[in-house]
Amino acid sequence: MANAIVITGYGIVSSIGLNADEMLNSLLIGHSGIGEITQFETIHKGKLPLAEVKRSNKELVQLCGLPGKTEFTRTALLGIAAARQAAEMAGFKPGQTLRTGLISANTVGGMDRSEIFYPLFLENPSKGKLCNVVRHDCGESTEAIAEYLGISDFVTTISTACSSSANSLMLGAEMIKAGMLDRVIAGGTDAVTRFTLNGFNTLMILDKEGCRPFDENRQGLTIGEGAAFLVLETEEQALKQGKPIYGVLSGYGNANDAYHQTASSPDGTGATLAMGKALAMSELLPSHISYINVHGTGTANNDLSEGFAVQKIFGEKVPPFSSTKAFTGHTLGAAGAIEAVISLLSINQDCIFPNLRWATPMKELHMRPVTSLLKGAGVEHVVSNSFGFGGNNSSLVFSKHNP
């Protein structure tokens, strides 16, 4: 187990909490972050719900300890806040001899700033501040987080739609195993933008009442925002330094079924392959899994496809499962990392969080989600699924650390 990849720190910012303690409290009391739009103007205000981080950019600047700074995108600010928590929890100090990498994921980049630039520019090409539009790309927030934390050994960005931050954790683990880095801060961040909201609304997959994952009457997803980062290193290194270990990334798998630009394959081929690979790496049997944090977006296609895949892997004995997107909304590129932290909380608190707003079983499936908090559930191993547009499917297995 000396080369096992363990988690020695994590940080999170979401619609249900600005840190892990606040988030855990919301999960325990069943408080959802889905509600009215408050942080930006849109024609959908009062019509579509969002799961926003209820802080303005100015307030996030203060939260990150960056007084007077105005150049950051919202995506970067959310990422800095979460990565800072993870680094502090793991006792991270810049300048240590450990080769440290930052792998950050997102999908929207700095679109919130681009949306400020373009209306002015289109009205008059001599107007619009270039300091806004130059921060458009996905890598900008990664660079901002790396500079804030003082990381320069390895810095990269992953953008594979909604599996992005799950893939950042996988890449981080692989680089440590290959001896290329000693530790990695991996995760993702995404902010809500008009572009994102309008895009998903055009696809007609937004639930006007708030998402209802795995419910027969589900109407679509709810967009959310947030960020989460985990500190990965080997068990040997963590124990040598006397660090607390919050869990083990015992397995992971990725598969791309390339069925459709935005839809999952109807029979769940990619999802089945991803979960199968993750279980094989972890050397666990399906019967060893205590809980599945399903991708569970609440769309007709996703939930059915994922349900078929889960039943293929687990047969008639599907372990307790739930989608926590009913709490956080679908945070897109940040979803895999946010749900990784939730998986660790499930292990360390020994509880399974409920699938909110579920009422009616899906007629095609024999499985039903957990709908109330389960305490003392004996959580040892958790599968966390993240499936993205284009069929990029990733599954992670987190295990309780047993020295």
- pLDDT (tens digit per residue) in 335-364: 999 999 999 999 999 999 999 999 999 999
Other C-beta atoms lying within 10 Å of the C-beta of residue 138: 21
Q: What three-state secondary structure class fits 388?
A: strand
Q: Where are the beta strands (DSSP E) in 301-363?
A: 321-322, 351-352
Average pLDDT on 151-166 reads 95
DSSP H or E run through 174: helix 164-177
**Considering the entire predicted model, what is its pTM?**
0.96
- Give residue 128's region: left, alpha or beta (phi > 0; psi -120 to 50): left
Q: What is the pLDDT at residue 95?
A: 65
Q: What three-state secondary structure class fits 14?
A: strand
- Domain coordinates of the chain in residue numbers? 5-240, 249-399
* Distance from C-alpha of 104 to C-alpha of 177, rounded to nearest angstrom: 19
The sign of the torsion formed by the CA atoms of 162, 163, 167, 170 equals positive
Q: What is the pLDDT at residue 262?
A: 63
User: Which stretches of 203-268 are DSSP H helices?
Assistant: 235-240
Q: What class does CATH assign to 5-240?
A: alpha beta
Q: What six digits make up the tokens of 17?
A: 């909490």
User: Which stretches of 226-359 are DSSP H helices?
Assistant: 235-240, 269-282, 300-314, 325-328, 335-349
* Distance from C-alpha of 193 to C-alpha of 157, rounded to nearest angstrom: 19
Average pLDDT on 367-377 reads 97
- Which of these is catalytic: 64, 138, 162, 211? 162
Q: What is the pLDDT at residue 134?
A: 82
Asked if 368 and 281 touch (Cβ cutoff 8 Å), the reply is no
- Which of these is catalytic: 64, 136, 295, 401? 295
Average pLDDT on 111-130 reads 85
Q: What six digits make up the tokens of 190?
A: 């995404």
Q: What is the pLDDT at residue 258?
A: 79
Asked if 292 and 310 touch (Cβ cutoff 8 Å), the reply is yes
330 annotated active-site = yes
Of all residues in the chain, the percent with pLDDT exceeding 90 is 83
Using one digit for the tens of pLDDT, what is the confidence trace for 248-297? 999 999 998 877 666 677 788 999 999 999 999 999 999 999 999 999 99
64 annotated active-site = no
Other C-beta atoms lying within 10 Å of the C-beta of residue 211: 32
- Residue 167 banded pLDDT, cuts 50, 70, 90: very high
Fold identical between 5-240 and 249-399? Answer: yes
* Distance from C-alpha of 326 to C-alpha of 224, rounded to nearest angstrom: 10
211 annotated active-site = no
Q: Is the pLDDT of residue 1 over 70?
A: no
Q: What three-state secondary structure class fits 292?
A: strand
Q: What is the pLDDT at residue 234?
A: 97
Angle between helices 335-349 and 164-177 (to 10 degrees): 70
Residues paired with 319 in a beta bridge: none
- Residue 172 banded pLDDT, cuts 50, 70, 90: very high
Lowest mean pLDDT among 164-173, 194-203, 353-362: 194-203
Report, at the CATH architecture level, how domain 249-399 is classified.
3-Layer(aba) Sandwich (3.40)
Do strands 374-375 and 351-352 pair parallel, antiparallel, or not at all (unpaired)? antiparallel
Q: Is the pLDDT of residue 114 over 60?
A: yes
Closest CA to 317 of 349, 362, 287, 284: 287
- Which of these is catalytic: 136, 330, 381, 401? 330
Q: Is the pLDDT of residue 96 over 90?
A: no
Asked if 232 and 169 touch (Cβ cutoff 8 Å), the reply is yes
Q: What is the pLDDT at residue 226?
A: 98
Closest CA to 191 of 253, 289, 294, 106: 106
Q: Is the pLDDT of residue 317 over 90?
A: yes
Q: What is the pLDDT at residue 149?
A: 95
Q: Is the pLDDT of residue 369 over 80?
A: yes
Q: What is the pLDDT at residue 45?
A: 93
Asked if 50 and 192 touch (Cβ cutoff 8 Å), the reply is yes
Using one digit for the tens of pLDDT, what is the confidence trace for 126-150? 887 877 788 888 899 999 999 999 9
Residues 6+ apart with CB under 8 A from 155: 101, 102, 142, 143, 146
**Residue for token pair 């793991």:** 90
Query: Residue 147: what residue type?
Result: E
Q: Is the pLDDT of residue 50 over 90?
A: yes
**Residue for token pair 């205000």:** 45
Which 8-state DSSP code applies to residue 220?
A: -
Q: What is the pLDDT at residue 2?
A: 56
